[in-house]
Amino acid sequence: MSDFDFSDIKDIRAEEKRLYEEYKKKISELKKVKKEKEAVGQVFTKGLLPIYVLFILSIKPTNGNEISNQIGIRTNGKWIPSTGGIYPLLKRLEKDEIIIGTWDDPEKRFQKIYHLTPKGKIEYKNKKKLLKPKIEQSLEVFKIVYNDIY
């Protein structure tokens, strides 16, 4: 006769099921937190990154890595956009003829240096003028929300 009790298998399966449900719930919570963080990041990436890239390029022509570094320096490390966000934006701005990229060494094609085009300079001035009231309004809202919460 065996000492094995089939109720043990049922208990083990019930515990496995409970743990799996707990695991799924935790994963769902983590995904939600990640989405919320991404949404906050998108305020900067989608809203402010294009105008800030144009601002950096209005100071001097440079490459994508340096644009990211300059944003990090200017924001005291509070916002350092990834080059994975910078380069697609540069490509789009180049396609729209707002900037132009030239290779630092056409033979080696190591690094592209981006410059504002005449159209880009006009675009930057227009966006700057258009966004100023929106950014000011956003700052006011952030102050109110901050004061209400904290």
Instruction: Single out the residue of 58, 39, 49, 108 nearest to residue 83, CA to CA.
Output: 49
In three-state secondary structure terms, 5 is coil
- pTM for this structure? 0.66
Cβ neighbours for 62, distance < 8 A, ≥ 6 positions apart: 56, 70, 113, 114
Q: What topology is assigned to 8-121 in CATH?
A: Arc Repressor Mutant, subunit A (1.10.10)
Domain boundaries, the chain: 8-121
Residue carrying the six token digits 């994975």:
84
Q: Which of helix, strand or coil describes residue 51?
A: helix
One digit per residue, the tens of pLDDT, for the chain of length 150 reads: 456 566 677 888 888 999 999 998 888 888 877 766 554 444 555 678 999 999 999 999 999 999 999 999 999 998 888 888 899 999 999 999 999 999 887 787 788 999 999 999 999 999 889 888 888 888 899 899 999 999
Determine the Cα–Cα distance for residues 102 and 114; give it in Å rounded to an integer.
6
Q: Within 13 Å of residue 75, how many CA atoms lie on the same side as its CB? A: 16
- CA–CA gap between residue 77 and residue 50 (Å, rounded): 18
